[in-house]
Amino acid sequence: MAKIVGGLASSHIPSIGGAMAKGLAQDPYWKPFFDGFPPAREWLSRVKPDVVVVFYNDHGLNFFLDKMPTFAVGAAKQYANADEGWGIPTLPPFMGCPDLSWHIINHLVDKEFDVVTCQEMLVDHAFTLPLKLFWPGASCPVLTVPICINTVQFPLPSASRCYRLGQAVGEAIRSWDSDLRVAVLGTGGLSHQLDGERAGFINKKFDLEFMNSLQDNPAWATQFSIHELVEKTGTQGVELLMWLAMRGALGTSVKEIHRNYHIPISNTATGVIALEAT
């Protein structure tokens, strides 16, 4: 059976892509953020995942407000990136893992999750940039399975439902008849609000409590409703749902390998974490 080696989480701000393209990783503004990744890359070089299941949220490249699924799973042989209008480079297609995708889809349906199945899928910066941060080579060396969670248009899935989704995905991975090694990645956040009266809002205290909870008390954030999470983290900070789904997939016991937290990058509290499944 397949083995889950651990989980990763990272912010996915579009300007990160611009900084990478312009070689600004050592610029004083960017250095505290980019310095958070070498320890995670070192861990990845040790555990050597073959496949990465990515929980992320689409920003209008593949889904728009007229058709916004709560949960969508990619089942394609490859996933194309396209210009989103941010001025960041378009990356080569990411290779899929259809066998694992269909195994996850069937398991989720059996568990009464209603998912949209995507046999063609465009992936935006929320998917591409974290993969580039963890695997900065010319092309991504791992197979991928995208799982999109709606954090854009209400009603949003609750934190508890996203955590249970992650648990079901973890069950599916562990029951997959394969000897491949799988990592799980959650992207987005942390606290930030980009518009409205609270534009620029950051809640460091809550961010750190949330990161602390991921090791030993992963269900901690499920006590809050979506509206409470928006109040505590900002309109876009609710992207922590992807981190929560990632943690749900890892099972009961993990060991924190590395974390980094830095504010602000583009009015966003940024974080990165690596957790090894034990």
- Predicted confidence at residue 253, as pLDDT, reads 93
State how far the Cα of 130 lies from the Cα of 139, in Å rounded to an integer.
13
Confidence category of residue 35, pLDDT binned at 50, 70, 90: very high
- Predicted confidence at residue 215, as pLDDT, reads 94
Average pLDDT over residues 34-54: 98
CATH of the domain at 102: 3.40.830.10
Range of the domain at 259: 3-277
- Predicted confidence at residue 85, as pLDDT, reads 85
Catalytic residue (choose from 12, 59, 107, 192)? 192
Tell me: pLDDT of 111 over 90: yes
State how far the Cα of 189 lies from the Cα of 12, in Å rounded to an integer.
7
Residue 13 sits at φ, ψ, to 5 deg, of -65, 135
> What value does the mean pLDDT of the chain take?
96
Average pLDDT over residues 175-200: 94
- Predicted confidence at residue 200, as pLDDT, reads 85
Q: Report the domain count for the chain.
A: 1
- Predicted confidence at residue 246, as pLDDT, reads 98
To the query of whether residue 192 is one of the catalytic residues in this protein, the response is: yes
Catalytic residue (choose from 125, 227, 258, 262)? 125
- Predicted confidence at residue 109, as pLDDT, reads 98
Q: Where are the beta strands (DSSP E) in the chain?
A: 3-10, 51-56, 71-74, 78-79, 94-95, 116-118, 143-149, 181-187, 254-265, 268-277
Instruction: Report pLDDT digits (tens) over 201-210.
Output: 999 999 999 9
Task: Name which residue leads in pLDDT, 267 or 38.
Answer: 38
CA dihedral 250, 254, 257, 262 (to 10 degrees): 70
- Predicted confidence at residue 196, as pLDDT, reads 87
